[in-house]
């Protein structure tokens, strides 16, 4: 995969001005063995419950990016080593968590890109709540199902249409 988010921004300044391309504020830490990832977004909205995260990662990813709005909670992790490995196995390009992850050493062994706000050893609840494929908002950036995500060491971009 050959792209740089800086180059995408430079080549698409007109799209930034019209909100066809958005830059997510730098709230995420990088994990996983993939230094960059891209794909169409599958969106989830959950809060301190990762049942829907697991069931989604159990499906074929087809190079998509799972974007999880976990409400920015620092009280528990929504993704751990087992789920990252499941995402890798099922062909997900990356996982973005507006919240926490755990099992960092295990995640860093997976060939998948992961962005999260922090690590937290406490696992989430298992009640089965949440919603899938809806408009979510992370740090002031709207993310629709099907938007294109581009992530590398410099940041995370959200585009309404494929840019590369």
Domains in the chain: boundaries = 5-159
Confidence at residue 94, expressed as pLDDT on a 0 to 100 scale:
98
Specify which residues 115 forms β-bridges with.
30, 96
Specify which residues 22 forms β-bridges with.
158
pTM of whole model > 0.75? yes
Specify which residues 85 forms β-bridges with.
none
Confidence at residue 117, expressed as pLDDT on a 0 to 100 scale:
98
Rounded to 10 degrees, the C-alpha dihedral 43/46/49/54 comes to -10
Output phi, psi for 89, to 5 deg.
-60, -35
Residues of the chain with confidence (pLDDT) below 70: 1
Confidence at residue 14, expressed as pLDDT on a 0 to 100 scale:
97
Confidence at residue 56, expressed as pLDDT on a 0 to 100 scale:
98
- In angstroms, the CA 46 to CA 77 distance is 12
User: What is residue 162's three-state secondary structure?
Assistant: coil
Tokens 């890798």, located at residue: 88
Into which CATH architecture does domain 5-159 fall?
3-Layer(bba) Sandwich (3.50)
Output phi, psi for 148, to 5 deg.
-95, 130
Is the Cβ–Cβ distance between 152 and 143 less than 8 Å?
A: no
- In angstroms, the CA 4 to CA 45 distance is 28
Is the Cβ–Cβ distance between 87 and 62 less than 8 Å?
A: no
Confidence at residue 101, expressed as pLDDT on a 0 to 100 scale:
98
Tokens 């995500």, located at residue: 149
Sign for the CA dihedral angle at 30, 46, 43, 84 comes to positive
Is the Cβ–Cβ distance between 132 and 56 less than 8 Å?
A: yes
């Amino acid at each position: 995969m050959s792209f740089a988010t800086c180059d995408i921004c430079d080549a698409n300044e007109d799209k930034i001005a019209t909100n066809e391309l958005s830059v997510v504020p730098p709230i995420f830490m990088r994990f996983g063995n993939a230094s960059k990832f891209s794909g169409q977004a599958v969106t989830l909205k959950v809060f301190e419950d990762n049942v829907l995260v697991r069931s989604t990662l159990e499906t074929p990813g087809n190079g998509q990016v799972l974007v999880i709005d976990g409400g920015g909670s620092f009280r528990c992790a929504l993704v751990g080593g087992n789920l990252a490995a499941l995402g890798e196995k099922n062909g997900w390009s990356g996982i973005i968590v507006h919240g926490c992850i755990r099992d960092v050493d295990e995640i860093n062994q997976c060939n998948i890109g992961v962005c999260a706000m922090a690590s937290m050893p406490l696992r989430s609840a298992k009640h089965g709540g949440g919603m899938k494929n809806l408009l979510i908002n992370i740090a002031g950036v709207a993310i629709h199902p099907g938007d294109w995500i581009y992530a590398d060491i410099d940041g995370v971009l959200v585009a309404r249409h494929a840019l590369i």
